[in-house]
Amino acid sequence: MHRLPLEGIRVIDFTAVWAGPHVGQWLAVMGADVIKIESRLHPDEIRLYWNLEETGHSVGSEFAEFNFGKKDCTLNMTKPKAKEIVKELVKISDVVIENFGGPVMDRWGLGYAVLKEVNPKIIMYSSSGFGRTGPYKDYPAYAGITEGLAGLCSLNGYVGGEPLPMASLGYADITSAQHGTFAILAALYHRSKTGEGQYIDLSMTEVVSSLVFDGLMDFVMNGRIQGRQGNTDRAMSPHGCYRCAGEDQWVAIAVSNDEEWRALCEAIGSPAWANDDKFQSGFSRWKNQDELDSLIQEWTRQRSPGEVTETLQAAGVMAGPSLKTEELAEDQHLLERGFHFDVEQPGLGIWRLTALPWKLSNVPPGNYAHAPELGEHNEYVFRTLLNMSEDEVAHLEEEQVIF
Q: Active-site residue numbers? A: 173
DSSP assignment string, 309-340: HHHHHHTT-EEEE---HHHHHT-HHHHHTT-E
Helix (H) or strand (E) holding 35: strand 33-38
Euclidean distance between CA atoms 201 and 203, whole angstroms: 7
Contact between 29 and 368 under an 8 Å Cβ cutoff? The reply is: yes
Helix (H) or strand (E) holding 345: strand 340-345
Euclidean distance between CA atoms 103 and 111, whole angstroms: 8
Other CB atoms within a 10 A radius of the CB of residue 155 amount to 16
Sequence-distant contacts of 270-277: CB under 8 A, at least 24 apart:
270/295, 270/299
Helix (H) or strand (E) holding 87: helix 80-91
Cis link prior to 238 (omega < 30° from 0)? yes
DSSP assignment string, 123-171: EEEEEESS-SSSTTTT----HHHHHHHTTHHHHSS-TTS----STTS-H
Residue 358 DSSP symbol: S
Euclidean distance between CA atoms 275 and 315, whole angstroms: 18
